[in-house]
């Protein structure tokens, strides 16, 4: 089972736009030292949509070697076409990913049967767990609870879902209920930078996948939740909420997370790739205020 805080690893770039593999290595070790229970690779917060196939392959090779089995690696492998998604998924497995996070096709949006075919084709090509990424704000593809539960029952390697369809708490609870007795064998994760991770946990989620700049805070919240210390979890979450909220701005969240990692001395550059947006001068000022507030809350 996958469980806990799986930060989506940002992709560090040099100022010239090339992947900064030295910073990537430092970032991975930093996240593990912060208590990450696993790592998410090539997701939206990784700017996976900007990466070349050769870059994804090289990054995964390096991360697999560096992590060396210490935590599970969940690699994003969805695509706009089924054959391409199958190939990408098979390659991620062969390179050492422990599980796959798969978006539905989002250019030509299939119906329910089309989605069953798509995820079924990927399942037939791999032998590692598939996490269905239910992210309609990004894909405009709706996946109702009944469809997700059907995937869990009928598609062999569909073993989890990342629920990012607001309101995420109620959908998490509804999916947990729809899965019934089989829910213990199916992992429900939250996303959207953990903005509703407490409600999701209380309704049955077993993990969350935020960005990678304040991982220790998310881990502390998660540990409180698992111990039943709800008030302490809320206190820690409330202190971090201004920063979490700021990073939820569409197109700017990745830039903010990278700026925070630069400020922490983890990566060298906050460079992002087009069409990702970089914070302007006012944004940098606002972010620093929030970052200082968060640091002060940690004592």
Global pTM reads 0.95
Active site residue 18: no
Residues in the chain: 299
Residue-level pLDDT at 183 = 67
In angstroms, the CA 185 to CA 206 distance is 11
CATH fold of 4-230: TIM Barrel (3.20.20)
Structure tokens at 77: 């492998």
**CB-hemisphere CA count at 13 Å for 69?**
0
The string of pLDDT tens digits covering residues 239-287 is: 999 999 999 998 899 999 999 999 999 999 999 999 999 999 999 999 9
Average pLDDT over residues 75-88: 97
In angstroms, the CA 43 to CA 66 distance is 19
**Catalytic residue (choose from 162, 176, 236, 258):** 162
Structure tokens at 218: 């998310």
CB 208 within 8 A of CB 194: yes
CB 185 within 8 A of CB 178: no
Residue-level pLDDT at 182 = 62
* Domain map (residue ranges) of the chain: 4-230
Structure tokens at 229: 């210390």
Terminal CA-CA length for the chain? 34
Q: How far is CA 234 from CA 169, 228, 281, in A?
A: 16, 11, 32
In angstroms, the CA 211 to CA 104 distance is 21
The string of pLDDT tens digits covering residues 149-161 is: 999 999 999 999 9
């Amino acid at each position: 089972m996958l469980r806990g805080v799986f930060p989506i690893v940002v992709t560090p770039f040099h100022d010239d736009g090339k992947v900064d593999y030295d910073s990537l290595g430092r970032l991975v070790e930093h996240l593990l030292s912060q208590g990450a229970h696993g790592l998410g690779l090539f997701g939206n917060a990784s700017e996976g949509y900007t990466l070349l196939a050769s870059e994804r392959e090289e990054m995964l090779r390096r991360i697999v070697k560096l992590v060396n089995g210490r935590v599970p690696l969940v690699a994003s492998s969805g695509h706009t076409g089924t054959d391409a998604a199958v190939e990408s998924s098979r390659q991620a497995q062969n390179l050492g990913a422990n599980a796959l996070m798969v978006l539905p096709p989002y250019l030509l949006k299939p119906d329910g049967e089309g989605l069953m075919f798509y995820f079924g084709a990927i399942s037939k090509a791999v032998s590692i767990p598939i996490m269905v990424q239910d992210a309609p704000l990004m894909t405009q593809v709706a996946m109702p609870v009944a469809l997700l539960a059907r995937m869990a029952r009928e598609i062999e390697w569909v073993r989890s879902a990342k629920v990012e369809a607001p309101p995420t708490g109620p959908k998490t609870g509804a999916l947990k209920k729809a899965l019934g007795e089989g829910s213990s064998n199916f992992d429900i994760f939250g996303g959207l930078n953990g903005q509703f991770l407490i409600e999701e946990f209380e309704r049955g989620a077993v993990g969350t996948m935020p960005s990678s700049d304040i991982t220790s805070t998310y881990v502390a919240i998660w540990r409180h939740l698992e111990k039943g210390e709800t008030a302490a979890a809320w206190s820690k979450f409330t202190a971090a909420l201004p920063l979490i909220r700021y990073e939820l701005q569409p197109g700017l969240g990745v830039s903010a997370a990278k700026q925070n990692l630069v400020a922490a001395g983890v990566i060298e550059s906050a460079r992002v790739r087009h069409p990702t947006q970089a914070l302007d001068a006012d944004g940098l000022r606002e972010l620093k205020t929030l970052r200082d507030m968060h640091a002060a809350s940690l004592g």
